[in-house]
């Protein structure tokens, strides 16, 4: 059965999709079978693997709202990772899900069909705590939380943790925080070190040792529709995401 991990933050601009794309690609390079579920209407994880989100015949929307088989909707990328793609069509799902039965378990039901096809399933969540993110938290076994190295790093994280707690009490009691990763780290600044220390004081050993740096190559890769491990395997960004992937696999496979 696959390790199902949601990558979630209700705050935008923290490197959530960058982490989803690059950790999925790095784990696939380690010869694991990987599916990335794009449940964000922006569809950036989809385009991050070189898939044109404007020409899709079916997306996560059809799976959640129309009951379409995930097996018939996933797409094989050029980077060893299968994608359940997304585009702006999914934006209307928040409203439509509110009136449907099993509104919080539709993704879990869909993933049950293909869970044995993969070693890892990552879910890239939207930067909100609506029904799409609730579907992800209900479907996954663990949550990976990216936090940006900035002054207000922990702002809003309490709200996400509260939502995780509510999901644990109701739909998914086995849900755990897989880990917390610091992104956009600049070791030359005192604030970056202070923020890491502050987050470590809150999350303890849940904080990964790997710190994801600010890196020009990481910023360039999405515009070429490639994960960093394909765009520039020698870059500092690729090295750190490969290291993070090792940490994730060590926690999941121990």
The pLDDT value given to residue 153? 87
Q: Tell me the pLDDT tens digit for each residue of 15-55.
A: 999 999 999 999 999 999 999 999 999 999 999 999 999 99
User: Residue 253: inside a domain, yes or no?
Assistant: no
| 152 — pLDDT class (breaks 50, 70, 90) | confident
Q: What domain range includes position 185?
A: 3-248
DSSP lists the bridge partners of residue 83 as 36, 75
Closest CA to 22 of 247, 222, 210: 222
The answer to whether 123 touches 37, Cβ cutoff 8 Å, is yes
User: Residue 160: inside a domain, yes or no?
Assistant: yes
User: Residue 187: inside a domain, yes or no?
Assistant: yes
Q: Tell me the pLDDT tens digit for each residue of 77-136.
A: 999 999 999 999 999 998 999 888 889 999 999 999 999 999 999 999 999 989 999 999
User: Residue 77: inside a domain, yes or no?
Assistant: yes
pTM: 0.96
Closest CA to 163 of 194, 138, 195, 139: 138
- Give the sheet arrangement for strand 75-76, strand by strand: 75-76, 81-84, 34-38, 120-124, 3-7, 142-148, 176-185, 207-213
User: Residue 213: inside a domain, yes or no?
Assistant: yes
Q: Tell me the pLDDT tens digit for each residue of 166-182.
A: 999 999 999 999 999 99
In this structure, are strands 3-7 and 142-148 parallel, antiparallel, or unpaired?
A: parallel
**187 pLDDT higher than 90:** no
User: Residue 254: inside a domain, yes or no?
Assistant: no
Number of domains in the chain: 1
What is the torsional sign of CA 86, 92, 94, 96? negative
Q: Where residue 193 sits, what CATH number does that domain have?
A: 3.40.50.300
Instruction: Show Cβ contacts of residue 240 under 8 Å, excluding neighbours closer than 6 positions.
Output: 210, 211, 212, 213, 215
Closest CA to 232 of 244, 211, 242, 218: 218
């Amino acid at each position: 059965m696959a390790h199902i991990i949601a990558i979630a933050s209700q705050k935008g601009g923290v490197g959530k999709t960058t982490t989803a794309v690059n950790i999925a690609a790095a784990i696939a390079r380690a010869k694991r079978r990987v599916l990335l579920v794009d449940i964000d209407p922006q569809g950036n994880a989809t385009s991050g693997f070189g898939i044109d989100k404007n020409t899709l015949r079916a997306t996560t929307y059809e799976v959640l709202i129309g009951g379409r088989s995930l097996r018939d909707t996933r797409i094989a990328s050029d980077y060893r990772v299968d994608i359940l793609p997304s585009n702006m069509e999914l934006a209307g799902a928040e409203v439509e899900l509110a009136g449907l039965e099993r509104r919080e378990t539709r993704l879990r039901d869909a993933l049950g069909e293909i869970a044995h096809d993969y070693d890892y399933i990552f879910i890239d969540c939207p930067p909100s705590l609506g029904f799409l993110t609730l579907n992800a938290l209900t479907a996954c076994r663990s949550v990976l939380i990216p936090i940006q190295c900035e002054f207000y790093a922990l702002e809003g994280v309490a709200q996400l943790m509260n939502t995780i707690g509510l999901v644990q009490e109701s739909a998914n009691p086995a849900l755990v925080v897989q880990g917390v990763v610091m992104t956009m780290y600049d070791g030359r600044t005192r604030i970056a070190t202070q923020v890491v220390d502050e987050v470590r004081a809150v999350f303890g050993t849940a904080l990964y040792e790997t710190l994801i740096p600010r890196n020009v190559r990481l910023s360039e890769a999405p515009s070429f529709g490639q994960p960093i491990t394909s765009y520039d395997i020698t870059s500092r960004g690729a090295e750190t995401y490969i290291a993070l992937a090792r940490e994730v696999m060590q926690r999941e496979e121990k």
